[in-house]
Amino acid sequence: MAGAAAARPEPACPFGVCDGSGWILGPDDVARACECRERIVARARQHGLASVIPARYRGVGFDRPPVPQLDAMVVRVVRSFTEEIEPNLDAGRGMWIMGGVGTGKTTLAMLVSKAALEAGRTVAIYSLPRLLARIRRTYDAETGEQSYLELFERLAAVDLLHVDDLGAEKSSDWVLEQLYSLVNERYERKRSMLVTTNLDQAALEEQIGPRTVSRLVEVCGDPLPLAGEDLRYRVDAQRS
């Protein structure tokens, strides 16, 4: 039944302490907040953000193509990051994957986002053009719709902000301001970011500004370079 499929059970407490409500009932019926309460509040704040793995990437896995065909060193680093996803997110550590078109950057990034979601953490997933379009829409928001400040707060607060194709948008003062404000806010809050880009570090600095790239390095560390041919052409050749 459609209604039954849509209904989802409340998630259990990830710490195995409360009943999933975020509260622990103590002596004299006095309730205290469970450790998972912060995550429940974060999920509520996430409303209105893109937080679902795109259909094309829902079946990704480290043992499934194209991942075994990618640079083994980069895959090892990404796998290690996902295996420690909880402490990495708690510490505000992120990841930056850099490489040419079709080299598998987005696939690897989706593995990280998938691990975060499976761990019960909040994730926002956007391509840069889509993220900027979402921000622009708040300027025309009517009463009762999500405002710019509400959207900014939610983007700044999620456990992991995943931005694909960083540097893909045509640069302008407005774009530079939005990117720096968001990246800097997450840097100051020690919130993780996951970014992919076709540009090397020097070209990215020219596109989005050295201040923003500097903050990204603070959050994500040095970029992981992913070399190789466009895997999409290889798939097309195998199909023909």
Cα gap 193→191, rounded to integer Å: 7
Is residue 207 pLDDT above 90, yes or no? yes
- Give the model confidence (pLDDT) of 66-109 as tens digits: 999 999 999 999 999 999 999 999 999 999 999 998 899 999 99
Name which residue leads in pLDDT, 8 or 59: 59
Q: Of 142, 141, 138, 166, nearest to 154 (Cα)?
A: 138
Q: Between the CA atoms of 130, 8, 122 and 75, what dihedral angle is there, to the nearest 10 degrees?
A: -80
- With b for 16 or more beta-carbon neighbours within 10 A and e for fewer, the 169-188 pattern comes to beeeeebeebbbebbbbbbe
> In this predicted structure, what is the pLDDT of residue 108?
97
- Give the model confidence (pLDDT) of 155-206 as tens digits: 999 999 999 999 988 889 999 999 999 999 999 999 999 999 999 999 999 9
- Give the model confidence (pLDDT) of 27-62 as tens digits: 655 666 677 666 656 665 555 576 688 989 989 999
> In this predicted structure, what is the pLDDT of residue 239?
38
What mean pLDDT is predicted for residues 151-158?
93
> In this predicted structure, what is the pLDDT of residue 32?
67
Model confidence at 240, pLDDT cuts 50, 70, 90, reads very low
Q: What value does the mean pLDDT of the chain take?
A: 84
Q: Of 49, 58, 122, nearest to 90 (Cα)?
A: 122
> In this predicted structure, what is the pLDDT of residue 179?
95
Cα gap 13→195, rounded to integer Å: 30
* Structural domains of the chain, with CATH: 46-225 (3.40.50.300)
> In this predicted structure, what is the pLDDT of residue 45?
56
> In this predicted structure, what is the pLDDT of residue 63?
96
